Amino acid sequence: MRRSWLFLPGAERDALIGAAKGAADVLIQELEDFVPPARKDEARRLAPEIVAAWKRDRRLAAVRINPLDRGGLADLEAAMASGPDAVLLPKTAGPTDVIALAGEIDRLEGAYRLAPGSTEIVPNIETARALMQTYAIARASPRVVACLVASEDMAADLGAERGPDASELDYVRRRFLLECRAAEVVAIDCPYTYGDAAGLEADARFARRLGYVAKSAVAPEHCFVIDRVFTPSRDERARARDIVDAFETAKAKGAAQARLGGALIELPAYLNAKRLLERAKRLGAA
């Protein structure tokens, strides 16, 4: 159940501990942009405690380190002591960055007696250069199970003018999803960085319509909306069951298509309905 990925300021202990009671599916101690330089060491020292606390609360615990050559190795060595579920790599430029991080995680899993291969990597795609290499980045290590696309850093790299409708990132989000789907990893949509609740819901629904099943957030209250949008509703589940029943009934009679309420149901619609029901089942079980 990884619909909402919440970035939390890495040096704010109370906020980090309290986040375990919130709606986010994945909690991320953010050691990069959300921590001023003067507090980097403080945040790093907190990492083992925070990861351990989240795991005790049965929450998915992640940490976003700094780039390896800019303090990230020290971040990683601290966080790995408690065995985070995932490590997010910012400013990923290409596959070599992922390979380098995977090698360090290999070493630290051995040093801390963690299960080999248990730590996932989530590269962050934040520049045009990285976007054009998303497929190669996603395939660089078996540890990569998802990638995350940025909003503010990506827009800055493009020289784009930001707006609440995020239309300036439309192609980025479509291209990123396509690359992730081809690489068979989960695409995590960019965060909505405005306080408008209606805008957040519209943005999340747009992402879901494109094919996203997960979205990042920088505000804890956004996770309630994200979780709701990315969870199939009762009406959606009922419609999907109707599609599946109609198609399977038609198939049993030797037909390749079915009709439901005036709509023509073909194999792609049937498979989409099956996927929706399977996702709803997994979310319900979780």
| pLDDT tens track for 166-214 | 999 999 999 999 999 999 999 999 999 999 999 999 999 999 999 999 9
What span, in angstroms and rounded, lies between the C-alpha atoms of 74 and 202? 39
Record: fold of 4-229: TIM Barrel (3.20.20)
| pLDDT tens track for 249-261 | 999 999 989 999 8
Residue 17 makes CB contacts below 8 A (sequence gap 6+) with 50, 53
pTM, two decimals, is 0.91
Report the alpha-carbon angle 132-1-247, nearest 5: 85
pLDDT of residue 283: 82
**Domain residue extents for the chain:** 4-229, 234-285
Residue 148 makes CB contacts below 8 A (sequence gap 6+) with 5, 88, 122, 123, 124, 125, 188, 190, 216
